[in-house]
């Protein structure tokens, strides 16, 4: 497959964001208790370097005959230290991660964020797949082009939120030799929201005979973040959809169950779980159970007490952003010293 020049030479509606002059300032860093595996605690220490500019661009990428994937790219004005494949959640799109993408790029990361099939500006029926692992097949083609387009770094991380977290875990198990680490934010490993019994029964019954039948989802925008403005913006966003097909529902349930069973031993990448106890959409206790059972030697759990589902949109989101950068920096330093 030839490269289609992901997002270069294509200016988006988002202008270049000038972060400021290159400077260093104190940030809160994290220490890991109990060796390389365990819970993290805050301790103010190190200096962080912020690059002068962040460049933002967008493009649509043909990854399959039936799929054109839209993507956002945020990158530093200079050689990146590492790259991040950023995977959004259900019903939303990559444009909702402008603050995170800009923050990471301002700290030397190339961030490539596609819209999943049936989401945002990508093609496909809204909220529909015939197989859950179509998401993984799409990423295989997309990332191959992205890596060819951006050869400046071979150090890639996967970062996924909610549905994107479930996709990220499954994608990491398939491709873990090609990535340095995995970061998931409130991954879809269990549901807290209540799906009406009749809707679940209808979904299962019609999944085979009418797989594309679309129904409304049960996401309450008031449960996204503690700031009501986040939910209001979500509902007003024309690129957010609120539909789920019968096949998507049964495929999601199957992928969720399979991932909880398989990841325990198959996932061996260094892994960071970011969970919030106030999440009323995904079940943070299910994610904690999987985390505790993972056999990877390097795993870290960070819990945000009382925060809602979208931790990257909470009022204190800069704290989470710093957690992510600190963890990646620490891991890259450990890997470099081990070589």
CA distance 83 to 321: 15
Q: SS3 sequence, the chain?
A: CCCCCCCCCCECCCCCEECCCCEEEEEEEEEECCCCEEEEEEEEEEEEEECCEEEEEEEEEEEECCEEEEEEEEEECCCCCEEEEEECCCCCCHHHHHHHHHHHHHCCEEEEEECCCCCCCCCCCCCCCCCCCHHHHHHHHHHHHHHHHCCCCCCEEEEEECHHHHHHHHHHHHHHHHCCEEEEECCCCCECCCCCHHHHHHHHHHCCCCCCCEEECCCCHHHCCCCHHHHHHHHHCCCCCCEEEHHHHHHHHHHHHHHHHHHHHHCCCCEEEEEECCCCCECHHHHHHHHHHCCCCCEEEEEECCCCCCHHHCCCHHHHHHHHHHHHHHHHHHHHHHC
Contact between residue 270 and residue 299 where contact means Cβ atoms under 8 Å apart: yes
- What is the maximum alpha-carbon separation in the chain? 59
- Beta bridge partners of residue 41, listed in sequence order: 31
Q: Which sequence positions are flagged as catalytic?
A: 162, 279, 309
The angle formed by the CA atoms of residues 249, 253 and 256, to the nearest 5 degrees, is 135
Would you say 34 and 42 are in contact if contact means Cβ atoms under 8 Å apart? no
Q: How far apart are CA 61 and CA 55, in angstroms?
A: 19
């Amino acid at each position: 497959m030839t490269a289609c020049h992901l997002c270069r030479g294509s200016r988006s509606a988002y202008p270049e964001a000038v972060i400021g002059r290159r400077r260093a300032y104190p940030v809160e860093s994290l220490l890991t208790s109990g060796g390389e595996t365990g819970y993290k605690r805050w301790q103010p220490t190190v200096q962080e370097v912020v690059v002068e500019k962040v460049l933002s661009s967008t493009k649509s990428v043909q990854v399959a005959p039936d799929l054109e994937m839209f993507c956002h790219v945020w990158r530093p004005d200079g050689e990146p230290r590492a790259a991040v494949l950023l995977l959004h959640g259900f019903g939303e799109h990559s444009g909702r991660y402008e603050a995170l993408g800009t923050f990471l790029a301002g700290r030397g990361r190339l961030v490539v964020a596609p819209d999943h099939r049936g989401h945002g500006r990508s093609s496909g029926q809204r909220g529909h797949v015939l197989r859950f692992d179509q998401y993984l097949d799409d990423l295989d083609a997309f990332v191959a082009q992205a890596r060819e387009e951006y050869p400046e770094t071979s150090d890639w991380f996967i970062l996924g939120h909610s549905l994107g977290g479930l996709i990220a875990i499954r994608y990491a198990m398939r491709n873990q030799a090609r990535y340095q680490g995995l970061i998931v934010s409130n991954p879809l490993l269990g549901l807290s929201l209540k799906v009406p019994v009749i809707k679940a029964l209808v979904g299962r019954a019609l999944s085979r005979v009418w797989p594309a039948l679309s129904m409304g989802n049960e996401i309450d925008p008031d449960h996204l973040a503690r700031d009501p403005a986040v939910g209001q913006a979500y509902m007003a966003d024309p690129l957010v959809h609120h539909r789920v097909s019968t096949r998507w529902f049964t495929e999601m349930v199957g992928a969720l169950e399979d991932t909880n069973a398989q990841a325990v031993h198959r996932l061996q990448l260094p892994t960071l779980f970011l969970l919030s106890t106030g999440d009323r959409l995904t079940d943070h206790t299910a994610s904690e159970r999987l985390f505790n059972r993972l056999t990877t030697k390097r795993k870290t759990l960070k819990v945000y007490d009382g925060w809602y589902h979208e931790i990257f949109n909470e009022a204190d989101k800069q704290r989470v952003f710093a957690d992510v950068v600190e963890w990646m920096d620490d891991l890259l330093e450990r890997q470099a010293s081990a070589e």
